[in-house]
Structure formats: C-alpha cells, structure tokens
Structure 1
C-alpha cells in the first residue's frame, strides 16, 4: 500500500499495543515501524532493474524480518525513551506488530509480498489497489480523533479500535465480496461469448473497488476486460497478442526468465522503433478506455556488455492526467 496508509496502520497498531502506557509515543513509533519495510525501495536503487524488482517486498516484508528486527528496534527505543513500567520487551512487541501488519496489508494488493521469505512464494490476493481512499480516509479520521484524547481517556481506545474495525471490515469482507462478484460477472460473460480460456486473474482498478479488470489467457493472446458494478451493458474484451516469437533470439536468457517469473506468466512482447519491450500485464494499461495504450509496467530489453538488461519505460504526468477522468467516467458504468 501507499506510504500514508502504512503509516496510519502502523500508528493505529502502535496505539493498540502500547497507547495506554506511553500515549502518542506509541503512535509515533508504530508509524515508524509501518514505514520501515518499504526501505527496500531505497536499497533497490543500488541494483539493476530486474534485481530491484525481485528485492521489492521481499525480505523486509517477511515474517523473518519482523521476528529478527523487532527486538533490535525495541531495544534501541528503550534506550531513547524512559516510561515507568515499559521495558524493551514492550517496545519490541509494538515494533513486531508494526512491522508485521505492513506485509499483511500489502499481501492484499496486486504486487503481493514474499511473507514466507526465503521461500519463493508471493501472497497477492488482489482485492485492493495500492491507494484506496475508502480504506485509508476513515482509518485516518479515527486515528486523529484518538490522538486528540489523553492516553487514559477510554474514548481514545474506542476511536482507535473503531478505525481498526472499520478498515478491517472493508479489507477482509467488502473488497473480497466485490472481487468474487466481479469474477462471476467475467466468468458469465466469457461463457455467453463462447470464449475458452486457460486462466483468469481479476484485480481492482486504481483508487477504487467499483471498477474491476480481468486478464484472461488464451492460447495465442490475453483478453482484457473491465467491469463496473454500475454497468448495464455486456462486458467486452479486447485482445493483447502474446508475440512470444519476438523474443526467440533471447528466449533462453536467464534474465528474461527472471522477468517472466516476476510477472507470474502475465506478459507480452511488443516492438517499438526496433526495440523489444516486455510488458507486465498485471497492472493494466495507462488509459482504462484505450486498449491500445501502453501498459503501466513495460521494460525495454537490450544487451549491454553481453548481458540482457531491462529498463522501465518512463511514465509522464500527462499519463496520470489522462487516466483519472476516464477512470472516473468508466467507474460510473458503461
């Protein structure tokens, strides 16, 4: 999830664990714990693109990281803060839950997390986008209400608990129900159009859980369709050819296989100005209403010093400006 959401979650968890004893300091250190796992994006700057992608949401988003580093961070905080009756074990417990809930939340996004590192298994439930105001804003409001109360005030704990409950209901009940409903709609549409397919993957579009996208794999192409819960017209699908033959000269390259593994097999190739691009389909197109628009994550493949490298295609601000109005219009139904 985005940084603000992880800060809010970490802060609320910190308050739940130690708020009665240390007040807003629990919120502060919980917020810090909620941001620490994403430091892997900074580490990734020192590596090539493919390695940086593999690192992201890897070790720092694992159970192992939380277990190893929570006592270390807890000990450091105990040397900084001096509250009666609060030991390094209390601070370690706060840090553990702040660190651990971060990847638990990220597991619900499309990218997922390697929660069980070092095992090569990424959890990605794909029932919420990385930025979802309906999840974050109510959560933030209740947290602010809690912060304004004294640590001994019963209403402080009540407000914080309400934030955790409301956000959890949305994340764990509402969004999976919407995902299941959308999946059924896509499945019905494929059956009615006599489309045979190998597998299907659904996810919410940016900033909402009203409009959903499906990737459907067929023998020679991927079909992509959108469905809003306000739709009144049948679902239509557009085809994205796999173009796997374009990569024949490098099909045995280990770096290419790393990209394929990262994409979980949801990928196509395309050519532009004599350059070969690897397109990761899991995150959709830049323009929700233009099936021919570029994919959000597309990598230019080229040989450098005898090694295959991947360079992410740069996205411009106009891409986002074009996306949001069209996204809102499509959310309201076809």
Structure 2
C-alpha cells in the first residue's frame, strides 16, 4: 500500500507489542522498518519506469529474505536505543539491551509490509528468490483511508500521550484489530464481486479463462471486475457490494499480429506481461504525429469508472517505417485527462445506484 500506511502499520505494531519494553523507541523503529522495503526504488535509479516495475516489490518484499535482513537492522536499532537511553530523561529499561526484543520488533514491522502489499492488486514477489511470481489477493486498494486513518490516529495518540502507556497500547491493538477485520471484509467483497461476474457470464456467450475483481480507489465497496477468454477478449464492468445491481459489461478485443508479437517479445513487453499476470490488451494504431505504427499494451486489471478501457499501467511501443521497434515508454491512456473529483463522484454514485 502507500508509504504512509506502511509507516503507520510498522509504528502501530511497535506501539502495541513492544512499547511496554522499549517505550516510544518501539514506535520510531517500527515506523522505519515499515518504510524500508519500499526503498527498493533505489535499485532502479537511472533506469526507466519498466526497470522500476520489474524491481519494485521484489527482493525487499520477500518473506524468505526479510528474516535475514532484520538481523543487522535490529542490531543498529539496539545500539541506537541503548545510546538514547543513556540520557537522564530516558532511563534505561530492562529490555533495551536485549537483541532478541529488537529483532522481533524489526522482523514483525518488516514482514507485515509485504503481507499487507499482498492484499493489493499490484502484486508482490513474496517468494523471491525461489520464484518471481507476483502474488495478489485483490482485497484492498493501494490507498484506502478507512484502513489507514485508525492506524495513524493510534500512533499519534501514542506519541502525544506517552505516560498513558496502557491506554495507548490499547489504542494500537484496537487499530490493528480493526484494520485486520477490514482486510478480511475486503477479501470477502472481492470474492463476492468475482462470483457475481462469473454467474452473470454463465448466461452469455463468454467463457472466461481468467476472472479478476479489483477494488476501485479508496474503498472496498465498488469493484472493477474483468474476465478474459481464450481469444483474448475482455469483459469489463463494475459491481457494487451494496447496490448489487446487474453488471453493465463493456467488451474489448485484443489485437494480434506481427507488431503485437514484437511488442510482447521486447524486454519492456515481457515486463508488462509478467507484471499484469498476462491480463494485457493489445491495440494497434497510427501515431498522431507522423502516422507510424504503434502498439498499446494495457493492463486491464486497473482502470477508471468513467472509461473502463483506460488503465493506470500500460506501454506504448513505436515502430519505424521498416516495422522495427524504435521505442517503448509507459503509457496510461487518458489518465492525464482524469478529473479526480469526477472520478470520486462516479465511484460514489455507482456504490449506491
């Protein structure tokens, strides 16, 4: 999820489980560890957006590697904690010099980061280096204030009311329980939306080979549902777990041919296909500038209510007069024309319509 949420989750874990031993230092270290996995953007500095897509949520998000990464981080945290407790206003606690206490804090704050990311549609390589598969549970939006705000509120309370230790630990525990239940509700709603789409498609001439349900922005009530058949055709619509109306489906063809094969066969195309879990729609068109051929690959898992064919993620592949690939760049369709307020209004209307 977003950076603020990951920081708040790590801090809340430190506050709930370790503040009785480490004081407010547990909140600080938990927040830092909650942030650290997303520092993997450093791996792609100086490269293009495809390199970032290929490396983000990779090694730094592996549940197999994070227990090892936690060892040096915990040692540094322990040294910092012992140094901080050498001042008169920070009396040393009995656990400050215990490495095992710091290790548990760092491990839980680190490993819950990819586990939370797993619930989003973006995908997370939790089994790197044994597998580079992107796992996803499609249970929550990358940004969801209902999940985040209770965690943030609990952490702020713990920082401004440090003397009320039992109370601010209770706030943190309550926030973690609420957020966990919210994730469970998101999973339930995702399965519900997916089942609704499958049931509706069963009465139509569309035999899906893959069906996905992804939350729209900031909520777990309205879901973008996508089905793909063996011919590469897509059926896309939106399902409200509140209104529960019939899904209005939009159908899109995916083109094929030499240019599409070249785009998919390029390094950038392979990254997009892997990232999208093969939910790519291909379109061939002519450039508005000089009429040269172009291929657009669109990740159909993501999109907007005002234009179901538009997506956050995709690629634009350009060809020269000899039909050789001359360039590739990230492409987000009409995202740049998005009026944020209009999209939010549309989501709200579709939830209750």
TM-score by length of 2: 0.85
Q: How does 1:50-89 map to 2 (within 5 A)?
A: 50-82=50-82, 83=85, 84=92, 85=94, 86-87=96-97, 88-89=99-100
Aligned residues: 328
In structure 1, C-alpha distance between the alignment counterparts of 2:315 and 2:268, rounded to whole Å: 12
1:322 shift after superposition: 3.7
Residues 151-190 of structure 1 aligned to structure 2 (within 5 Å)? 153-171=165-183, 173-190=184-201
Q: Contact 1:20–1:151 (CA<8 Å) still a contact in 2?
A: no
Aligned counterpart for 1:95 among listed residues 106, 109, 134: 106
Corresponding position of 2:47: 47
The answer to whether the aligner puts 1:280 opposite 2:291 as a matched pair is: no
Change (3 A) 1:145 1:250: closer
**C-alpha distance 113-45 of structure 1, shift in aligned 2 (>3 A):** same
Give CA deviations for 1:135-172 in whole Å, capped at 9, x if unaligned: 1122322333333433563222211111111111111x
CA offsets, 1:95-120, max 9 Å, x none?
11111110010000001211111122
* Unmatched runs of 5 consecutive residues or more in structure 1: none
Q: Distance in 1 between matches of 2:286 and 2:216?
A: 26
Distance 1:308 1:76 in 2: 48
Q: Is the 1:30–1:98 contact (alpha carbons within 8 Å) kept by the matching residues of 2?
A: yes
Find the aligned partners of 2:264 and 2:117 in 1 and give their Cα distance: 32
Q: 1:327 matched to which residue of 2? A: 347
The CA RMSD over aligned residues, in Å, is 2.4
Matched residues in 2 for 1:135 and 1:251: separation?
37
Q: Which position in structure 2 is the counterpart of 1:296?
A: 312
Q: How does 1:10-29 map to 2 (within 5 A)?
A: 10-29=10-29
What is the rounded CA distance, in whole Å, between the counterparts of 1:54 and 1:71 in structure 2? 26
Which structure has the larger Rg over C-alpha atoms? 2
Partner of 1:116: 127
Q: 1:133 to 1:251 in 2, by over 3 A?
A: closer
Helix, strand or coil: the match of 2:300?
Answer: strand
Contact 1:226 1:235 survives alignment (8 Å): yes
Distance 2:330 2:263 in 1: 18
Question: Quick check: 211-220 or 223-232, which moved more?
Answer: 223-232
2:307 is paired with a residue of what secondary structure? coil
Deviations 1:269-315 (A, max 9, x none): 2235232222111212xx313335x32212112479x8775311264
Query: What is the match of residue 266 of structure 1?
Result: 279
Judge conservation of contact 2:225–2:237 (CA < 8 Å) in 1: yes
- 1:215-254 equivalences under 5 Å are 215-218=226-229, 219-231=231-243, 233-245=245-257, 246-254=259-267
Unaligned runs of 5+ in 2: 86-91, 288-292
Distance 1:44 1:317 in 2: 28
Compared with structure 1, are the counterparts of its residues 102 and 248 closer, same or farther at alpha carbon in structure 2 (3 Å cutoff)?
closer
Structure 1 residue 264: Cα displacement = 0.9
Q: Distance in 2 between matches of 1:235 and 1:196?
A: 16
- TM-score w.r.t. structure 1 length? 0.89
